[in-house]
Amino acid sequence: MLNPDDALIRLDAALAAARTAGADSADAMYVGDGATSVSVRLGKLEDIGRAEGEEIGIRVFIGQRSASVSSSDLTIAALREAADRAVAMARLAPEDIYAGLAPAHLLAAGPLADLDIHDSTEISAADLKERALAAEDAARAVAGVTNSEGGGASAGLVVTALATSTGFRGGKRSTSHGLSASVLAGTGSDMQRDYAWHSARYLADVEAADIIGRRAGERAVARLNPIKLASAAMPVLFDPRVSASLLGHLVGAITGSAIARGTSFLKDKLGQAILPATLSLIDDPLRPRGLRSRAFDGEGLAAQRTAIIDNGVLTNWLMDAASARQLGLMPTGHASRGTSGPPGAGPSNMHLAGGTAAPADLLAGIVQGIYVTELIGMGVNGLTGDYSRGASGFLIENGEITRPVAEITIAGNLIDMFKGLIAANDLSFRHASNAPTLRIDGMTVAGS
């Protein structure tokens, strides 16, 4: 695997080859990664794996025609061949009036921010095995746990670099560490499964194995003997482990490509309030040690902290250069991409800010409701905002979380759900997308 500086030298060669082949402009991206993963079950090693790979993608433009080619052979000769092939393909491609590199004056310049996303700590496969065993052991030690789906531990390194013919050059090295456990409680037809996991840039930031394991075991046991409910409208609370999924549905509806196609339920909502005035949706690519932190986006634009929704009001779409041109706007620094095609748009580290109520306050006054801890399926209509997903969790009775509930469906419309959102103050920065406990009143809960 190349380091960022050596990757940029190779990208410079790819761009030179593209220009020699006849490209008017081009960009090139390097991605190299390596990961070690270990899985155990019932106290024994089940699998150990090591995966490595690296690739360079070259995107060329001839007028308003473009093509992309990728190669895992990084020799200069192979890159020249890839550039020749990309240019030949571009000459045959249809014209796209929106195609092109990002505007040069928006490219990140000067020293790039150090986001502290590379951990130099080395961990062996043997140490990963011990961590996975410790997590599974802690889960199996919880009273009521009867079987295990296993424990897992992983460590990975990714190097990415981007160069454009308009002058941008940038690279980064990032690490990731993960630990998980999944176990079953009960027997026969009443067996219930649950899990816990945590990942972080730094090994030292990953939760202790006994904490992760115990949480997995306690969650599985808590789900035993679930009840079924009659269908009704009632308040629904989303546990933080699933609440961020609502943010994902929102973000999918405000990408530039969805707006340009007219396939978003939020296409007419720019500048309007779509959340309560107390809440803001923040995208922060510059958060130190964030799981999606980046100093530049997939087209070389400077990354910056953005209030996607500011005090309830939708402020902008998430746009790469092509979708911005289609909408007559400027790109927002949210381009994301791989090596084999053009960029799309998406967030980095995202969180919902502004919740002030204690989680117990969100429960107060609920005579009957649902506390959701797991969501199943993807029943969301991006055009209308209609939302319907399988769920499980716990019954709320008279302001208290009581009995486990399974085999239910929760439904509503995302526009109404977002407007009525009530957020707790228990936000923590645990994942790439984070939200606190959320309450939505009047959702349709379909049971038996």
pLDDT of residue 110: 83
Going through 224-334 in order, the beta strands assigned E by DSSP cover 232-238, 280-283, 306-310, 313-314
Q: Which of 199, 220, 241 is the last residue of a domain?
A: 220
Q: Which of the 8 DSSP states describes residue 112?
A: P
71 and 157 co-located in one domain: yes
The angle subtended at Cα 335 by Cα 334 and Cα 337, nearest 5°, is 140
Domain count across the chain: 2
Alpha helices in 154-291 (DSSP H): 209-222, 240-252, 256-261
51 and 87 co-located in one domain: yes
pLDDT digits (tens, 9 = 90+) for 203-261: 999 999 999 999 999 999 999 999 988 899 999 999 999 999 999 999 999 999 999 99
| CB-based contacts of 155, cutoff 8 Å, min separation 6 | 35, 36, 123, 128, 175, 176, 177, 178, 203
Q: Which of 220, 252, 273 is the last residue of a domain?
A: 220
Q: Which two tokens stand for residue 314?
A: 């939708």
266 and 124 co-located in one domain: no
42 and 19 co-located in one domain: yes
Q: Global pTM? A: 0.93
214 and 232 co-located in one domain: no
Q: Which of 176, 194, 220 is the last residue of a domain?
A: 220
70 and 179 co-located in one domain: yes
Which amino acid makes up residue 360? A
Q: Which two tokens stand for residue 364?
A: 């107060």
Would you say 84 and 21 are in contact if contact means Cβ atoms under 8 Å apart?
A: yes
291 and 346 co-located in one domain: yes
Would you say 309 and 274 are in contact if contact means Cβ atoms under 8 Å apart?
A: yes
Q: What is the Cα–Cα distance from 389 to 193, expressed in whole angstroms?
A: 19
Q: What is the Cα–Cα distance from 116 to 93, expressed in whole angstroms?
A: 41
396 and 279 co-located in one domain: yes
Least Cα distance to 388 among 407, 369, 413, 415 occurs for 413
pLDDT digits (tens, 9 = 90+) for 45-79: 999 999 999 999 999 999 999 999 999 999 999 99
pLDDT of residue 448: 67
Angle between helices 125-140 and 209-222 (to 10 degrees): 30
Q: Which two tokens stand for residue 221?
A: 């046991």
Q: Which two tokens stand for residue 413?
A: 């419309």
- Three-state DSSP state, 58: strand
Gyration radius from the chain CA atoms: 24
Q: What is the Cα–Cα distance from 155 to 51, expressed in whole angstroms?
A: 11
Cβ count within 10 A of residue 190: 11
210 and 242 co-located in one domain: no
350 and 443 co-located in one domain: yes
Strands 433-434 and 350-353: parallel
Tracing tokens 């049971």 back to the chain, one arrives at 447
Would you say 394 and 192 are in contact if contact means Cβ atoms under 8 Å apart?
A: no
Q: What CATH number corresponds to the domain at position 213? A: 3.30.2290.10
DSSP-assigned letters across all residues of 308-365? EEETTEE---B--HHHHHHHTS---S-EE--SSS--EE--SSEEEE---B-HHHHHTT
Show the domain range for 389.
Answer: 226-448
The angle subtended at Cα 107 by Cα 105 and Cα 109, nearest 5°, is 100
113 and 242 co-located in one domain: no
208 and 325 co-located in one domain: no
Low-confidence stretches of the chain (pLDDT < 50) are none
Q: What is the Cα–Cα distance from 135 to 249, expressed in whole angstroms?
A: 32
